[in-house]
Amino acid sequence: MNIPATLKYTKSDEWFDPVSGKMGLTDYAQSQLSDIVFVEIVAAVGDTLTPGKTIASVESVKAAAESYAPVSGKVVAVNEALSGNPEVLNSDPFGAAWMVQVEGADSSGLLDAAAYATYCEERAH
Amino acid sequence: MTYIPTSPAEREAMLEVIGVKTIEDLFKDVPARHRFPDLTLPPAVTEMEAAVDLGELASGNETTRDLVCFLGAGAYNHYIPSVVDHILRRGEFYTAYTPYQPEVSQGTLQSIFEYQSLITALTGMEVSNASHYDGATAVAEAANLAYAQFRGKRTKVLLSPAVNPQYRQVLRTYTQGMGLELAGDDPQADLQSGAEMLRTQIDANTALVVVQYPDFFGRIYDYSELITEAHAQGALVCVAANPTALALLKTPGEMGADIVVGEGQPLGIPLSFGGPYLGFFTTRRQYVHKMAGRLVGETEDNRGQRAYVLTLTAREQHIKRERATSNICSNQGLMALASAVYLAALGKSGLRQVAELCYHKAHYAADQLSRLPGYGLCFASPYFHEFSLCCPRPVAELNQHLLDHGILGGYDLGQDYPALKDHMLIAVTEMNTREEIDALVEILGEASHG
């Protein structure tokens, strides 16, 4: 299970990068969903996000899920390429599969990598 | 064999959990005198006696077997090859449950896949779902798709007044509470100019434009320009089409439609007093994730053999819950099968032949009727197998007169369109002989003076 130390996490399995302001779904989330066949980013540039707001809709061969904003902030970019290559979410969840980029976000309430790793392990049992 | 799956012990345990002593206690809110009423039924009869009784009851009905039918308005009297019913009544199809388990559902899945393939070919579209209940609900699902596509940000649906009034009613019922504005079909709407009047009403808030092809009055329009205009405004266009007509005419897919739906009843399904019918629903590949219902796809099993599965079921309500676009998961399986068998039996040229017969017979009827003193064609536009006839007397009176002669007359358009008082919508299909058409002309001619 890949859990980069530089990122912050939520209990609904989103990651947030405090440096770049990007966010997406974690490696744990993609492994639970299995083969991703559809991603639709529903947040748009200019939107103001609040924590918990839906940013994307994700479907795999066996389930459908939503991705929620981990932080508040103003959307400055969305990953338009992702919907054309949804399988990238399986292969590169923390890189090419970023979903939305915001500015002015406060990530102080989020889990750090160690806490998120513990949380994932708890659910595995 | 009992069909109650719980044992007495299990029932006792459940009653204890919810805190009542007997099952009767669950009904205590129903007033005692209404509980378990005595049924005063007549003595039992034998099967032979019951068959006679039911036969007598049924003989009170007047059906298209006994009457000559010129009634259409959304449901049409076509010939159904006997092979359709033979296939339908096979137990493997007739009793099969929804094909969630592909290992034991290959026959049902293959028939749905073939149905989808035939419907996409007929409409000129890329994707068909496994069907809906009827044409009206299929139109309503088009509004659901458009609403979901724009995530509720566009709130106007433009309806041509020449869309079947029942479809428009069902659409209004379906979309209650969604915050959609349904416009374009008010009673004063211009009926002469076809869909042209809609073009000026398309704006940046329009999610969907709905037109019918041929329209409710039987008229044929090429909607290409309307669709281009709608796309320029970012709106989607749904064409509700008659499948028989599509064998003859340019497809809505060629015109650029985003969604093509329709009533599948003309494809091998009897009139049956209004149902069960079949709604077909097709769209472009890019909207498939917003499409309601289910979709069967072709794949390979672990031995490399061709196999069929339910594809994209992740969108269905039992998985997606409140985030599903529609609460329709099921499909009209048996009726979809009927239409697939019908289309396969007729083939491309056979269906075209049916369409040509309908077209030519309707035009012969319209030509003869419009020569009668006091009668005339209401619209000048090209039409398929149905046309609006202006009459010298109320349609209800004329229809009673026709019924006295064993003819089921046309639809009274004044019921839905005040401007079309004394207008009869007449449908002619391959089932109507020249003699029947001549009889219709003769009787209406006689009846013109009351």
Q: Which of A40, A58, A59 to mutate to test the interface with B (most CBs of B within 10 A)?
A: A59
Quick check: B377 and B387 in contact, CB under 8 A? yes
pTM: 0.87
Distance from CA of A23 to the nearest CA of B (A): 22
* CA gap B370, B440 in Å, rounded: 12
Q: Which residues, including other chains, have CB under 8 Å from residue B448's CB and lie 6 or more apart?
A: B372, B373, B374, B375, B392, B393
Distance from CA of B320 to the nearest CA of A (A): 6
CB atoms within 10 A of CB B90: 12
User: B153 in contact with A at a CB cutoff of 8 Å?
Assistant: no
Angle of CA points B299, B303, B308, to nearest 5°: 25
* CA gap B252, B262 in Å, rounded: 11
* CA gap B341, B118 in Å, rounded: 10
B114 three-state secondary structure: helix
Return the H-helix or E-strand segment holding B412. Answer: strand B411-412
Quick check: B263 and B278 in contact, CB under 8 A? yes
B417 three-state secondary structure: coil
Nearest of B342, B296, B404, B441 to residue B87 by alpha carbon: B342
**Phi, psi dihedral angles at A72 (to 5 degrees):** -95, 160
B314 with A61: Cβ contact below 8 A: yes
pLDDT digits (tens, 9 = 90+) for A52-72: 999 999 988 778 889 999 999
Quick check: A82 and A67 in contact, CB under 8 A? no
What is residue B81's predicted lDDT score, i.e. its pLDDT? 98
Task: Give the CA-trace dihedral at A110, A114, A119, A120, to 10 degrees.
Answer: 120
What is residue A63's predicted lDDT score, i.e. its pLDDT? 82
CA distances from B80 to B278, B341, B437 (A): 15, 10, 21
CA closest to A42 among chain B residues: B151
Q: What percent of chain A has pLDDT over 90?
A: 82
Strands A22-25 and A100-103: antiparallel
Q: Would you say the C-alpha torsion B242, B246, B249, B252 has a positive or negative sign?
A: positive
Nearest of B421, B428, B365, B432 to residue B397 by alpha carbon: B421
ipTM over 0.90? The verdict is no
* CA gap B417, B62 in Å, rounded: 27
What is residue B198's predicted lDDT score, i.e. its pLDDT? 92
Secondary structure, 3-state, B363-397: HHHHHHHHCCCCCEECCCCCECCEEEEECCCCHHH
What is residue B3's predicted lDDT score, i.e. its pLDDT? 77
Q: Point out the residue among B151, B312, B314 whose CB comes nearest to the CB of A63.
A: B314
Quick check: B342 and B84 in contact, CB under 8 A? yes
* CA gap A66, A85 in Å, rounded: 17
Looking at beta carbons, which residues of chain A come within 8 Å of B323?
57, 64, 66
A64 with B151: Cβ contact below 8 A: no
Looking at beta carbons, which residues of chain B come within 8 Å of A63?
314, 319
Q: Which residues of A42-71 are buried (b: 16+ CB within 10 A; e: fewer)?
A: bbeeebebebeeebbbbbbeeebbebbbbb
Q: Which residues of A touch B (CB under 8 A)?
A: 37-38, 40, 42, 57, 59-64, 66
Which two structure tokens, joined as six digits, stand for B13? Answer: 């345990």
What is residue B289's predicted lDDT score, i.e. its pLDDT? 85
Q: At what angle do helices B434-446 and B333-370 cross, to 10 degrees?
A: 50
Q: What is the pLDDT along chain B (450 residues), one digit of tens a residue?
A: 677 888 999 999 999 999 999 988 999 899 988 888 888 898 999 999 999 999 999 999 888 989 999 999 999 999 999 999 999 999 999 988 788 788 889 999 999 999 999 999 999 999 999 999 999 999 999 999 999 899 889 999 999 999 999 999 999 999 999 999 999 998 788 898 888 889 999 999 999 999 999 999 999 999 999 999 999 999 999 999 999 999 999 999 999 999 999 999 999 999 998 899 999 999 999 998 888 888 999 999 999 999 999 887 656 666 677 777 676 667 788 999 999 999 999 999 999 999 999 999 999 999 999 999 999 999 999 999 999 999 999 999 999 999 999 999 999 999 999 999 999 999 999 999 999 999 999 999 999 876
* CA gap B91, B55 in Å, rounded: 26
